[in-house]
Structure 1
Amino acid sequence: MRLPSLLLLAALAATGSAQPAPPTDPLAPLFAPALGDTRAALLLRDGRVIEKRYAPGYSDATRFISWSMNKTATGLLVGALVADGRLELDAPAPLDEWRGADDPRSKITLRQLLNMSSGLRHVEVGDPIEASDTNQVLFVTGTQAMAAAAMAQPLATPPGSRWEYSSLTSLLLAEIVTRTLTPSRDPHVRAAAYTQFAEERLFGPAGIGAARFEFDGAGTQIGGSLLYMTLDDWGRLGQLLIDGRGPDGRQAVAPAWLDFMRRPAATAGNYGGQLWLNRSAQRGRPVMFAGAPETTISAEGHLGQHVTVVPEARLVVVRLGNTPEADIDGNHAAIGRIIAGQLHP
């Protein structure tokens, strides 16, 4: 084969006939070595895949752990029961263990649990690590009855007075969902009722086909931490957070409930109803996703799991992997740059 002469190459370039340079991968910032082990990423606009990328060893068949992104799924299930009139947002949390006449926890409302403002004593991240209430319940002493361990905590502050991030609070929300669905104490019946409800009211309408829950020994879904889905299914959950509609246009989440989830808690400007907001926690503090609109919302999980959504732009960014917690701000900065690049190319 004869190679074209330099003159021919120059002529082709001058006339625009040469092959264009490959397009820039908009997800490239998420795969920078400084961000740790990014395993999968997805960019959607209006439900259409703009870019999708896996690290070696991962594929469409992989189910990725949620960690705390499951809090958002739990919040959506609570919202379905509120829409059905079976739970009330500003009523006391329906937990018989707190119903004693002199029990100050009887004043904790469902809204306060959803907003992480219950006032329950809690240590999310302990130093040393075994001092974490969450780690003790999930992995050490509470695995057979996680909700019971969470409910046993006393008040540290009056309900609604302080924001305190708590995975055990989300676990209590999953327990409330379960008790609303079935009076059974049989772990298998409880787990089946929760799974069926999630399939009917959340996963099915969203087009999510590969979700798997994890339950404790009492049949309580580990609502703050353990849900497994494929990359595409995490994208579908993000799509649902745009307007509450599934791919067939069916309204799966009530608009009023989405409004609640996106509304800042009275005790924290950057947190809504089991959902992070791109707002300052306090005046003068930086936002989570610099360069992204204030309306940006995100389901966030331990070690850098993110389903980040700009509702008005119908934009979804998913990042799944393993980033040390000390470096998570780098993930947020990269997602902010991706969003800014899509909104202002």
Structure 2
Amino acid sequence: MSGQARAGALPPLPSQPAGVPWPTTDWPQGELPGSVDRERLEAHLERGFQDFDETHAVVVVQGGRLLLERYGPEHGPEATCMSWSKAKSLTHALAGIVVGDGRLDISDPAPVAEWRIPGDPRGAITTDQLLRMSSGLKFDEVYEVGKPSDTIEMMWGSGKDSVAHYAADQPLIHPPGTFFSYSSGTTNIICRILADMTGLRGEAFGDFMRERLFQPLGMKTPIPRFDPAGTFIGSSFCFTSARDFARFGLLYLRDGVWDGQRVLPPGWVDYARTPTFQQPGVTDGRYGAHWWLDLGGPGSFSANGHEGQFTVLAPDLDLVVVRHGRTSNDKKDAVKAWVGDLVSLFGCWQP
């Protein structure tokens, strides 16, 4: 794939087991494997619902079967949950669809109007560098009110009418491709590129999302949000049920293929989980392309969101773990570790 870093020794992605139906309509049910310590699992789940403010949903899928789901008060299988930055991984899928249609080459300079002025150094930024959070653009990814925050200003302040313009108008502070900096603004620039490449905005782009991504998987709950300019706010806003996020995770665990239909182009999932260059000192963990790496152990990759939203994929265990809730920032590392430990409880599974 043009612009893609070499995948190297990525763990293989598992196939859907023979005889297990795809969960396009209903999730096939499964039993906890005998290797799982049920007492430890129960104690772990109890802690997960007690220690992290609000836990809204926990869903575990292994071997394509739904093994476990728990819900907090006022939540259930059809309740939509806040995506926050898990929407970034949905944006990665939408970009793959547009790439697969031949409308976008991620190795080319990104088609961004603000950067087309002759001599503007931002004109060298590629879509690949945007997907890898390595554009070099200034953007302060801060979520605390009262502190300088481009995230808050973009979504609720001066940038709210056109989130992509706000982000694209930021100055370049590092040469493109040389500095990793996680940025919601970067994702919204990508979303406007996708709107431009498809010629669709607002609900018309929402129809595109449903037709090309959600409906083939049987995802009925997603509610994407758009800014007044018609750009999908793919950095943060696609309300979706935990079960549907599990469907989305299964699509990536199955290499972008769903029940015989290729939804994402060949190599696109490997691109998501190929590590991005990160300068020394990055503390949030390794990153691929709009997916985080290693939360569930080596070889795993995940969609992570503010306040403790996670969809974790562990290829070696054929496992999808989804957690939704509302957890305060001071507990973010603890809930992240809790999710990783939940994955490890299924570590002895055999197909």
Q: Distance in 1 between matches of 2:43 and 2:208?
A: 38
Q: Distance in 1 between matches of 2:337 and 2:187?
A: 27
Task: Please give the secondary structure, in 1, of the residue aligned with 2:205.
Answer: helix
- Equivalent position of 1:55 in the other structure: 72
- Equivalent position of 1:235 in the other structure: 246
- Equivalent position of 2:5 in the other structure: none
Letter in 2 for 1:107: A
- Equivalent position of 2:191 in the other structure: 174
- Equivalent position of 2:292 in the other structure: 276
Q: Distance in 2 between matches of 1:28 and 1:212?
A: 33
Q: Distance in 1 between matches of 2:326 and 2:144?
A: 21
The answer to whether the 8 Å contact 2:109/2:125 transfers is: yes
Deviation at 1:124, TM superposition (A): 0.7
The answer to whether the 8 Å contact 2:56/2:325 transfers is: yes
Q: Distance in 2 between matches of 1:103 and 1:194?
A: 30
Q: Which of 250, 258, 263 in structure 2 is aligned with 1:252?
A: 263
- Equivalent position of 1:141 in the other structure: 158
Give the TM-score normalised by structure 1: 0.84
The answer to whether the 8 Å contact 1:89/1:109 transfers is: yes
Task: Please give the secondary structure, in 2, of the residue aligned with 1:255.
Answer: coil
- Equivalent position of 1:89 in the other structure: 106
Letter in 1 for 2:76: S
Deviation at 1:80, TM superposition (A): 1.1
Say if 2:44 is the partner of 1:29: yes
Deviation at 1:61, TM superposition (A): 2.8
Per the alignment, do residues 35 and 27 of structure 1 end up closer, same or farther by CA in structure 2, a change over 3 Å counting?
Answer: farther
CA shift digits 1:168-215 (9 cap, x unpaired): 100111111001011xxxxxx611332122112211222211111001
Say if 2:149 is the partner of 1:132: yes
The answer to whether the 8 Å contact 1:238/1:309 transfers is: yes
Letter in 1 for 2:260: G
Task: Please give the secondary structure, in 2, of the residue aligned with 1:271.
Answer: coil
Deviation at 1:217, TM superposition (A): 0.8
Structure with more of its chain in helix, by fraction: 1
Q: Which of 335, 340, 347 in structure 2 is aligned with 1:336?
A: 340
Deviation at 1:140, TM superposition (A): 1.7
- Equivalent position of 1:78 in the other structure: 95
Task: Please give the secondary structure, in 1, of the residue aligned with 2:346.
Answer: helix
The answer to whether the 8 Å contact 2:141/2:151 transfers is: yes
Percent of aligned positions that are identical? 36
Deviation at 1:127, TM superposition (A): 6.5
Per the alignment, do residues 337 and 128 of structure 1 end up closer, same or farther by CA in structure 2, a change over 3 Å counting?
Answer: closer
The answer to whether the 8 Å contact 2:256/2:269 transfers is: no
Q: Distance in 1 between matches of 2:46 and 2:190?
A: 34
Per the alignment, do residues 153 and 65 of structure 1 end up closer, same or farther by CA in structure 2, a change over 3 Å counting?
Answer: same
User: Which of 1 and 2 has greater Rg?
Assistant: 1
Unaligned segments of structure 2, at least 5 residues: 1-36, 280-284
Q: CA RMSD in A?
A: 1.9
The answer to whether the 8 Å contact 1:27/1:51 transfers is: no
- Equivalent position of 1:321 in the other structure: 325
Q: Which of 1 and 2 has higher RCO (CA within 8 Å, sep 6+)? A: 2
Residue range with higher mean Cα deviation, 259-268 or 48-57 = 259-268
Deviation at 1:122, TM superposition (A): 0.9
The answer to whether the 8 Å contact 2:78/2:221 transfers is: no
Per the alignment, do residues 38 and 150 of structure 1 end up closer, same or farther by CA in structure 2, a change over 3 Å counting?
Answer: same
The answer to whether the 8 Å contact 1:170/1:224 transfers is: yes
Say if 2:199 is the partner of 1:195: no
The answer to whether the 8 Å contact 1:27/1:42 transfers is: no
The answer to whether the 8 Å contact 2:121/2:172 transfers is: yes
- Equivalent position of 2:136 in the other structure: 119
Q: Distance in 2 between matches of 1:97 and 1:155?
A: 12
Letter in 1 for 2:193: I
Letter in 1 for 2:56: R
Q: Distance in 2 between matches of 1:341 and 1:160?
A: 38
The answer to whether the 8 Å contact 1:241/1:311 transfers is: no
Q: Distance in 2 between matches of 1:30 and 1:67?
A: 23
Deviation at 1:23, TM superposition (A): 4.9
Task: Please give the secondary structure, in 1, of the residue aligned with 2:87.
Answer: helix
- Equivalent position of 1:282 in the other structure: none
Say if 2:221 is the partner of 1:210: yes
Q: Which of 297, 300, 306 in structure 2 is aligned with 1:302?
A: 306
Per the alignment, do residues 47 and 73 of structure 1 end up closer, same or farther by CA in structure 2, a change over 3 Å counting?
Answer: same
- Equivalent position of 2:10 in the other structure: none
Letter in 1 for 2:336: H
Per the alignment, do residues 64 and 25 of structure 1 end up closer, same or farther by CA in structure 2, a change over 3 Å counting?
Answer: farther
